[in-house]
Amino acid sequence: MSAASAWAAETPTSGEAGERADVRALARQTSVVVVAHNAGHSLRECIASILLTQAEVEVVVVDNASSDGAVAQVKDEFPAVRVVRNKWNGGFGRGSNLGATAAQGAYLVFLNPDAIVTGSWLEALVCPLAADTSIGLVTPKVLLRAKPERINVAGLDVHLSGISLCRGLEAPRTAFDDAREVAAISGVTVAVRREVFEAIGGFDEDFFLYVEDVDISLRAWLAGYRCVYVPSAVVLHDYVLKVDTCKTFYVERGRYLMLLKAFSRHTLLRLVPSLLLAEAITWGWLLWRNPSAIVQKLRAYRWVLAHRAQIAEKRRQVQARRRHPDAVFLARCQWDLGFEQLAGPRMARAAGAVFGPLLWGASRFVTSARAKEEKRTRWHLALHQRLGGEGMGK
């Protein structure tokens, strides 16, 4: 091949150049927010991967009162990175909201500091938001960093009780390769239009850690926006499934808070059988795997009781933003639980055999009510359209 031919092969066509220009323009409208608390060397690798794949994007690092010097090192190496310093560690929710306020982009991407982005991840995540205003949140295919041939999470599966599990955990990376709606996005990486983020109230800062991704997804669905999984955006994540003592408190408190502020009283009543089964299962799992965490589950109960007024106010705010019935979210939830993620094969099969029929039976209380709610919604919509048409005829 001649030098001229080689140059031509490496030079983009006018169409390719136009597409790259569009991507750069989209990147300039996007801000990536990374919340860090003593993230160590992972933070440097995270930021480097962002700027390597898309140098024109704005990067905002929120320093949640770190003491390891990692944020200062990133700022020295990457001067373009904006740093927002928090005097105290307010958790992921507060840190993300601070970063969003400081960011200038019309599109916001929230990325964990222990994640690494690859290839055209930004384009794949943000383009759906630019193309379809009904989409509120977009999440990528996340691979296990230690085993990149395996999936970490492809959106979240959510049980009717609010318990969430990684969709596709340990599946081959070639699996889950179709873009689709999911019940909830993964907090490892999520993209959102700023106007949607502000309309649904941002992250709830009472979610210090965990469940904030399911909570913001649920609120997005109720506000009239869809949550979408895009496998063409690929991220690597340093992940190990474990439930330590402190995590039990944050997960259970977050789940109770989410349910109480989001669902209607009628839905909560219908969910009672599923919720009671979920309580029995979580109590049993803790007694088996981590008895010392039981005190943290009791602590979650106490927190909910002590913050009744605060929860009631949050509930009023969520209901004021509601545009869709609970059925829109519940239709995307699962009646069963992924026991295989919580135990070995033998124990998972035993748990499925015992609890599977009970969980299915409990779900019937919800699905029958959901069908009636959807029928009422269609009836009200038809009536509204009919009256609107008559009004226009006048």
Tell me the DSSP string of 25-45: HHHHTEEEEEEESS-THHHHH
CA distance 373 to 329: 12
Q: Which residue has the higher pLDDT, 320 or 18?
A: 320
Span 210-256, pLDDT tens digits: 999 999 999 999 999 999 999 999 999 999 877 678 899 999 999 99
One CATH from 3.40.710.10, 3.90.550.10, 3.90.660.10, 3.30.390.50 for 24-113? 3.90.550.10
Q: What is the pLDDT of residue 25?
A: 87
Other Cβ atoms less than 10 A from the Cβ of 244: the count is 10
Span 298-325, pLDDT tens digits: 999 999 999 999 999 999 999 999 999 9
Span 343-365, pLDDT tens digits: 888 999 999 999 999 999 999 99
Other Cβ atoms less than 10 A from the Cβ of 357: the count is 10
Tell me the DSSP string of 242-269: ---HHHHHHHHHHHHHHHHHHS-HHHHH
Q: How far apart are the first and last CA of the chain?
A: 74
Q: Is 90 exceeded by the pLDDT of residue 340? A: no
Query: Which residue stretches of 116-211 are H helix?
Result: 121-131, 194-199
Nearest Cα residue to 359 out of 297, 251, 253, 280 = 280
What pTM, to 2 d.p., does this model score?
0.87
Residues whose CB falls within 8 Å of the CB of residue 157, separated by 6 or more in sequence, listed in order: 164, 165, 166, 167, 183, 334, 338
The H or E element containing residue 206 is: none
Q: Print burial letters for 42-72: b (CB count within 10 Å at least 16), e (below 16).
A: bbbbbbebbbebbeebbbbbbbbebeeebbe
Instruction: Tell me the backbone φ, ψ of residue 315, rounded to 5 degrees.
Output: -60, -45
Confidence at 30, pLDDT banded by 50, 70, 90: very high
Token pair for 345: 């094969």
Confidence at 373, pLDDT banded by 50, 70, 90: low
Residue the block writes with tokens 């995540």 = 125
Provide, rounded to the nearest whole percent, the portion of the chain with pLDDT above 70.
88
> 248: buried, middle or exposed (CB in 10 Å: 19+, 13-18, 0-12)?
buried
Q: What is the pLDDT of residue 6?
A: 28
Span 38-68, pLDDT tens digits: 999 999 999 999 999 999 999 999 999 999 9
For the chain, where do the domains classified as CATH 3.90.550.10 start and end? 24-113
Nearest Cα residue to 263 out of 324, 190, 342 = 324
